[in-house]
């Protein structure tokens, strides 16, 4: 599997994209070399920070990523797109090693914000002392599948001229479900769980209870914050409050910026109640929905302890702890 780290969105064919990405990396490394070597310089805590957003497809990930791109120059950090061959979310073992080495030792790219359709990777098993900060956003599983179904056929308003894989297929999602089509089968719901579960084979075993339990464990123990598409603004607000080094100004940008809701799937038709009910009979939906509800409950718990509502608006709480009775007393 080839992994390229793009500093900007796609612009041409895959080969030209790779050439452009390599050229951009060389330019940045040369510029840092001219400014003086950093290899032996210890970075302070904030400058050594790396965030990984292993984005799940069709969860408003482009809208959120655009905010990171818009803020990177002002807040002085790098944004890199992890582009895997055919968007394969599972890396080979050798690519895992390369990726971990890039993330941890590429000082010229720190502080860095990496994003891409890659499943969770446990950096600890590679002997890394300081792990990156993982964040993510998930979505109601049926809404995510419906959005992806129409995206493959009609694209979106982000790159409207790009020919999509299923272009020309006019069948609605309702018709697909009624006919038992493969693109709308319950198995296609199985995505958010394996993205959080990771690179173990069992993670990608559709309907695995172990995979769901592991995904829940990782969400709680390995992710700094996981938001939901339906409450994206609150997710951004919490990130700005907790990680201002990266997200200072993000909330205002989301509310007022032109790119906030940039990517909208074209020709999307909401499914009927009958279609939804049919999908909800599946054990796969029940597991994906259980994971979604678990993530939603956790996010709302974090939000409840971080904000207060006043006149319909949310406000971040000020610091609510302090230190006292400090001993021994200084002379």
Q: Which are the catalytic amino acids?
A: 115, 117
Cβ proximity of 226 and 219 under 8 Å: yes
Indicate the length of the chain as a whole number: 331
Q: How far apart are CA 243 and CA 330, in angstroms?
A: 33
Q: How far apart are CA 83 and CA 72, in angstroms?
A: 19
Q: DSSP string covering 151-200, please?
A: HHHH-BSSSTTSPPTTTT----HHHHHHHT-GGGSGGGGTTHHHHHH-SS
Instruction: Collect all residues with Cβ–Cβ distance below 8 Å to 113 and sequence separation of at least 6.
Output: 50, 51, 53, 68, 72, 77, 78, 79, 80, 246
Residue 86 structure tokens: 């055919």
Cβ proximity of 157 and 263 under 8 Å: yes
SS3 114: strand
Cβ proximity of 217 and 224 under 8 Å: no
């Amino acid at each position: 599997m080839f992994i390229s780290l793009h500093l900007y969105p796609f612009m041409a064919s895959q080969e030209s994209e790779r050439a452009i990405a390599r050229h951009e990396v060389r330019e940045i490394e040369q510029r840092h070399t001219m400014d003086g070597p950093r290899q032996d310089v210890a970075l302070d805590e904030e400058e050594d920070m790396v965030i990984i957003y292993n984005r799940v497809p069709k969860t408003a990930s482009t809208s959120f990523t655009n905010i990171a791109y818009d803020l990177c120059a002002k807040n002085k950090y790098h944004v890199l797109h992890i582009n895997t061959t055919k968007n394969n979310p599972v890396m080979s073992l050798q690519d895992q090693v390369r990726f971990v080495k890039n993330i941890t030792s590429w000082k010229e790219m720190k502080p860095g914000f990496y994003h891409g359709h890659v499943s969770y990777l446990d950096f600890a098993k590679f002997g890394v002392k300081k792990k990156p900060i993982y964040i993510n956003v998930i979505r109601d599983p049926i809404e995510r599948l419906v959005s992806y179904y129409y995206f493959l056929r009609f694209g979106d308003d982000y790159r409207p001229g790009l020919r999509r894989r299923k272009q020309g297929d006019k069948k609605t999602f309702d018709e697909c479900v009624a006919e038992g089509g493969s693109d709308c089968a319950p198995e296609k719901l199985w995505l958010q769980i394996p993205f959080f579960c990771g690179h173990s084979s069992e993670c990608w075993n559709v309907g695995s209870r172990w995979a769901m339990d592991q995904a829940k464990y990782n969400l709680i123990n390995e992710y700094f914050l996981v938001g939901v598409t339906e409450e994206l603004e609150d997710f951004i607000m919490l990130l700005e409050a907790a990680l201002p080094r990266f997200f200072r100004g993000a909330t205002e940008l989301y509310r007022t910026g032109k790119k906030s809701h940039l990517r909208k799937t074209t020709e999307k038709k909401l499914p009927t109640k009958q279609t939804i009910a049919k999908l909800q009979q599946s054990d796969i939906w029940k597991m994906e929905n259980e994971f979604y509800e678990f993530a939603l409950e956790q996010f709302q718990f974090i939000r409840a302890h971080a904000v207060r509502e006043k006149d319909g608006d949310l406000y971040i709480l000020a610091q609510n702890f302090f230190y006292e009775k400090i001993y021994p007393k200084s002379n």
